């Protein structure tokens, strides 16, 4: 198995420094949580669910520009072990309300709509926040555990306190990518009874093509698995890249749909990527309605629309459509595939 290409490799020195810094801040974070627990005015947490490459990064960048919610920034991500303290440091460095004669507003760069496999640039660019999530999720080889196991092993009190503390620190709803728990929406729903769940959907053929492209760019090969190792990973990993990526998308979408079906209608929002690109304002109206943001605070000043193309998927369209159709019809036997290696579906 290969690894990330050079431009996507972790900075080991940074990782060590962040581990040390967050360790030193843990005691202070507990005090910060106690202080914020005495503050009134909770806002909902917004969990963004759905497959990778379905438009979640663009959606988060757009959300950041609307100013309707707070979100994990590249600054805040470095305080993954003490996020409430990190939020206050971010406000100190970037919020004009706390400026003194333009001393340190260099951090306050505009948020662009550019990213590279989910990675954004700039201090206030949206961050995927996976370091934060992995503090709480004791995953092993797979990035998955059943809901009942998560309810038993996760430090739910601290998880809820920290995300709620972030809504209080910023004084607005806090939205974050939560696809690491695509298979565990009922778990999140159980511990965050006021949360809003946003389900991202994208044309499946374009989504699979984008997954394959991300594999090439980040890992150097379409054959390398990209993103979280889902429950079906062991069976899917033996298949050819197109079938494997189609299966990865199929099972994530299935898990998200099943989880979202358990959430009350008033606390879920489905965003179709292509429709969002055509009319972001319509999504904004639905979002603020469900968040209960009053008329006076509604300021949609983001992009009028985004462009998206499907031309790049044309060379593989037939193969992708065939693989997706076979998963939809249940024609692919994952048990058989996992035992027979990389033979394509339908071959016997």
Rounded to whole angstroms, the Cα distance separating 67 from 300 reads 8
pLDDT in tens, 25-51: 788 787 777 766 554 457 999 999 999
CA separation for the pair 116, 306 (Å, rounded): 17
CA distance 78 to 21: 9
Q: CB of 72 within 8 A of CB of 127?
A: yes
Residue 163's nearest CA partner among 119, 200, 193 is 193
Q: What integer pLDDT is reported at residue 265 of this predicted model?
A: 96
Q: Read off the pLDDT band of 309 (50, 70, 90).
A: low
294 pLDDT tier (thresholds 50, 70, 90):
confident
Helix boundaries (H) for the chain: 12-36, 56-66, 83-94, 130-136, 147-153, 156-170, 185-191, 204-219, 233-236, 241-260, 273-278, 280-291, 317-329, 334-340
pLDDT tens for each residue of 194-212 = 999 999 999 999 999 999 9
β-strand partners of 196: 46
State residue 104's pLDDT score: 62
The predicted model gives 159-167 an average pLDDT of: 95
Q: How confident is the model at residue 132 (pLDDT cuts 50, 70, 90)?
A: very high
pLDDT in tens, 222-252: 999 999 999 999 999 999 999 999 999 999 9
Highest mean pLDDT among 32-36, 278-282, 335-339: 278-282
pTM: 0.85
pLDDT at 342 over 90: no
Task: Walk me through the domains of the chain, giving residue ranges and CATH numbers.
Answer: 10-206+265-307 (3.40.50)
């Amino acid at each position: 198995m290969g690894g990330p290409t050079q431009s996507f490799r972790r900075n080991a020195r940074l990782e060590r420094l962040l581990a040390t810094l967050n360790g030193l801040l843990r005691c202070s974070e507990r005090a910060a949580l106690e202080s914020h627990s005495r503050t009134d005015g909770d806002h909902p947490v917004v969990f963004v669910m759905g497959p990778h490459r379905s438009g979640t990064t663009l959606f988060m960048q757009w959300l950041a520009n609307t100013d309707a919610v707070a979100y994990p920034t590249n600054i805040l991500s470095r305080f993954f072990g003490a996020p409430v303290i990190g939020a206050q440091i971010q406000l100190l460095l970037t919020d004009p309300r706390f400026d003194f004669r333009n001393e340190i507003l260099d951090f306050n760069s505009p948020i662009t709509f550019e990213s590279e496999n989910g990675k954004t640039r700039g201090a206030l660019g949206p961050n995927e926040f996976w370091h934060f999530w992995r503090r709480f999720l004791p995953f092993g080889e797979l990035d998955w555990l059943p809901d009942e196991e998560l309810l038993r092993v996760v430090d739910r009190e601290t998880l809820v306190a920290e995300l709620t503390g972030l809504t209080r620190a910023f004084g607005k709803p806090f939205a974050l990518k939560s696809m690491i728990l695509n298979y565990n929406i009922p778990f999140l729903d159980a511990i965050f009874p006021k949360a809003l769940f946003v389900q991202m959907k994208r044309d499946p053929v374009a989504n699979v093509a984008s997954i394959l492209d991300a594999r090439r760019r980040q890992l150097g090969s379409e054959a390398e698995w990209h993103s979280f190792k889902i429950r079906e990973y062991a069976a899917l990993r033996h298949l050819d890249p197109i079938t494997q990526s189609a299966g990865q998308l199929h099972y994530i979408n299935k898990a998200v749909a099943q989880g979202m079906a358990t959430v009350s209608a008033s606390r879920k929002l489905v965003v179709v990527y292509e429709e969002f690109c055509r009319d972001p304002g319509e999504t904004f109206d639905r979002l603020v309605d469900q968040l209960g943001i009053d008329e006076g605070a509604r300021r949609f000043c983001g992009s009028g629309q985004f462009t998206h193309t499907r031309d790049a998927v044309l060379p593989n369209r037939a193969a992708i459509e065939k693989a997706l159709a076979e998963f939809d019809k249940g024609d692919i036997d994952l048990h058989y595939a996992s035992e027979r290696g990389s033979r394509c579906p339908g071959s016997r």
